[in-house]
Amino acid sequence: MAKKPQTPPRDDAEQRQSRKEILIARKHERQLRNVRIAAVVVVALIVIVVAVALINELALTPNRAVATVGDRSIILRDWQQRVIYERAQRIIYLENQLEAFGGDVGIVQQFGGSLINELLDDEGLGENVLNVMAEELVICDAAAERGIEITDADVQNEINSNFGFYGEGVSPTAQPEPTQTIQPTPSLTPIAPADATAVPTETPEPTATAGPSPTPFPTATPLSEAAFQEQFGGIMTSLTDLGASEAAYRNVVRAQLCRTRLADALAEEQSLSRTALQASIFVITADTEEAANEVQAQIEADGYLTAWNTIQSRIDDPEATEAPPTSSFELLWRTQDSLAASVGASVAALAFDLPVDEPSDVIAVDNGDDTTTYYLIMVSGREERELSESEYQTRQEELLQTFADEQLTGTLQLNELWRSRVPTLPVLDSKFLAAPTATPELEATEAVIPTIAVEEPTVAPEPTTTE
């Protein structure tokens, strides 16, 4: 029987080596497969996390409530758009002022300092906008409950009238002529001074310089349709370039219509009177207590009107370096609130308590700047009179504000979510924060310096505001 051939030793070693390599390769392949599976799982988890974050950030969070009023809410997206709009319109106003004042940042900072501070206080502006939106919410809801409907057409008509566009070839309705104010007849006729024949008349109060307004609506002047489209398009372009939306602009107009119409409705519901108790007073002011006591002594000796006329008819020295310590003027038919704005609450209150034609004692009023003004007044008349249109509108606004405050008390809840998501864009240009350029001091020289005439910058008319 033949013997089976034996495998050479070298072939056995090669076979064993081959089987070992195969096992190692299989093990390595399993490891790679496990690594690939783990990597896929990790990537899948990352994708899921990112997807959830994006869905939460882009779809869920923008619709979360940042404030609730009863069962109504203000969502994050709407609030952020409104904040961006408010920032944009403030920046547009400041840019317009800078152009109007010839690039003088110092003047812009003087007139628009409050707006600059608001833009620098992101959280403060955001909270203020949130409170305003909550107030608008209850006002518009109350208007709807009374059957007051604000349509898109109403909003467009209001925008048109704000720009002065009333239809092609149509001019705005002429305003009624103002009724002449009947001058009061004081109980005692003022004594004319020996060197003058003038009797006391109301001294005009200084006109306050108009400050910045929060919403840049244009002044209503008659426009053609083409001019309206150009101006409206220009404002919308300015807003959108800064990230604001036309929808936010229209929402502001809609809210203002709600305020106006609800104010009229509340005034009718509560029979808001168009008349109010008003007083006319003669006023003498003194800068020092000593000067006030001297005037009071003269009043006791000669009578109030003689002392009043003496000051009123005084001829001041044009070369005097200081203003006289006393002055006199008359305020005709003012409500207590109006008087308080002119001479302070304590003087105004006395004007409605003091008997007619009876001089008051010296009234010291702290001006709040470490100075005191001393008043001596005499009421010349007090009666129920019709309010001016502006005063009546002010009372309507007060009535509306009281109503809104009552509706918000105990029902307004703010979600702290908004504090970490306050928009900071658009950003105020750093040029508005620069220190005003100081006037250079000229060294004394014998050279003749020519005088250069500087033309005053023309101030552009301020836009109509919407609260």
Token digits of residue 55: 């869905």
Chain segment 287-326, per-residue pLDDT in tens: 999 999 999 999 999 999 999 999 999 887 787 778 899 9
CB 337: neighbour CB atoms within 10 A? 14
DSSP-derived letter for residue 217 is B
List the strands of the sheet with 372-386, edge to edge: 326-334, 275-286, 372-386, 363-366
Task: Return the pLDDT at 352.
Answer: 96
Q: What are phi and psi of 181, to 5 degrees?
A: -75, 130
State the pLDDT confidence band at 8, using cuts at 50, 70 and 90.
low
The DSSP H or E segment spanning 248 is: helix 246-269
Query: Nearest Cα to 79, choosing from 420, 463, 429, 428?
Result: 420
pLDDT for 190 equals 47
Provide the pLDDT confidence category of residue 211 given band limits of 50, 70 and 90: very low
Range of lowest pLDDT (165-169, 176-180, 372-376): 176-180
Whether residue 432 contacts residue 74, with contact meaning beta carbons closer than 8 Å, is answered with no
pLDDT value, residue 445: 43
Report pLDDT digits (tens) over 238-278. Answer: 999 999 999 999 999 999 999 999 999 999 999 999 999 99
Long-range contacts of 153-156 (CB under 8 A, 24+ apart): 154/257, 155/250, 155/253, 155/254, 155/257
Domain chopping of the chain, boundaries: 18-62, 72-168+221-271+393-433, 276-315+323-386
Apex 316 CA angle, 314 and 320, nearest 5: 155
Does 176 score more than 70 pLDDT? no
Residue 6 has pLDDT above 80, yes or no: no
Q: Contact at 8 Å (CB) between 379 and 356?
A: yes
Q: Hey, which residues does 334 pair with through a beta bridge?
A: 279
- Nearest-angstrom CA–CA distance, 257 and 405: 19
Q: Are 241 and 89 in contact (CB under 8 A)?
A: no
CATH class of the domain defined by 276-315+323-386: alpha beta
Please state, for a pLDDT cut of 90, what percent of the chain lies above it.
59
pLDDT surpassing 70 at residue 204: no
Segment among 7-16, 41-50, 81-90, 344-353 with least mean pLDDT: 7-16
| More reliable by pLDDT, 160 or 175 | 160
